[in-house]
Structures are given as structure tokens and as C-alpha cells.
């Protein structure tokens, strides 16, 4: 993966998002707009239904299947909620400027012009809320 995109290209991708897939790799070969829309809808519905965090990946996969998502979309969505693959901010909730895991996935989303996604914040049960 490249070291990143210049700010001008990132701005162009936000202003003129791409909805077509590229063929350079798995991450760039699908529709991240649809996957992120499904991810945000699944998260919202799961919160209303009281789904536990440990069950979220399975819940999101079932939600995507019911919504008619393709196999690629289901795999991408599942990876967003699986704790071993999810994008996780590093450091404090308010001071984090980088993230752990998912760099290539996030780059594919940025290249497509995706503006919102879900991230996983791991917390210890006895830690105070930020």
C-alpha cells in the first residue's frame, strides 16, 4: 500500500466520490459506500435492539444478508465488526490522530470518497467512560 494520498486528491475524492470498483486489490474492488451504509444502519438497529458488542459481527452479517448484500459486501461488513480486523483508534478518544488495523481498508474508503464509517473502541469493563 502506498504511504497515503496528497490532500488535494483526498479533497477531490470527497467532492467527487467514486462508486465504481477498481481491480488493484480486494479492498478496492467493491462498493464501500453501500458497505458503510449497511454498517451504520446495522449499528443503529443493533443499539435499539440491545445487541451486545461481542455479537455485533454476527448481527451485522445477518443484517447484510437480509438486505441482499453481495458476498464481497458481507465480507467487508463482517470485517468492520470483527475485533481482530476492525478499525480501532489509537490512544485517547479525543486525542487520537491515527488508528490501529484497517489502514488499507480505510485508504480504499477514502479513495472512494466515503465520509463516515464505524470504528471499534475497546474499553475495559472497569474503566471510566471518556
Per-residue confidence at 64, pLDDT binned at 50, 70, 90? very high
Average pLDDT over residues 84-93: 76
Any bridge partners for residue 89, and if so which? 99
Separation of alpha carbons 7 and 124, rounded Å: 36
In the chain, which ranges are E strands? 88-89, 99-100
Instruction: State pTM to two decimals.
Output: 0.72
Whether the predicted pLDDT of 60 surpasses 70? yes
The set of cell numbers assigned to 113 is 470518497
Report the distance separating Cα 65 and Cα 117, nearest Å: 19
Q: Is the pLDDT of residue 1 over 50?
A: no
Contacts of 109 (CB under 8 A, 6+ apart): 32, 36, 117
- Is the CB of residue 108 less than 8 Å from the CB of residue 27? yes
Instruction: Report which of residues 23 and 43 the model is more confident about.
Output: 43
pLDDT at 109 over 60: yes
Amino acid at each position: 500500500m502506498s504511504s497515503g494520498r496528497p490532500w488535494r486528491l483526498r479533497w477531490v475524492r470527497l467532492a467527487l466520490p467514486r462508486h465504481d470498483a477498481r481491480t488493484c486489490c480486494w479492498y478496492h474492488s467493491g462498493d464501500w459506500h453501500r458497505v458503510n451504509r449497511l454498517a451504520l444502519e446495522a449499528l443503529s438497529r443493533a443499539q435499539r435492539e440491545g445487541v451486545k458488542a461481542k455479537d455485533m459481527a454476527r448481527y451485522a452479517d445477518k443484517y447484510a444478508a437480509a438486505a441482499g448484500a453481495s458476498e464481497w459486501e458481507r465480507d467487508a461488513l463482517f470485517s468492520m465488526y470483527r475485533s481482530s480486523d476492525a478499525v480501532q483508534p489509537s490512544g485517547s478518544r479525543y486525542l487520537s490522530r491515527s488508528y490501529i488495523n484497517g489502514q488499507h481498508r480505510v485508504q480504499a474508503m477514502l479513495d472512494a470518497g466515503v465520509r463516515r464509517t464505524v470504528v471499534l473502541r475497546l474499553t475495559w469493563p472497569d474503566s471510566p467512560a471518556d
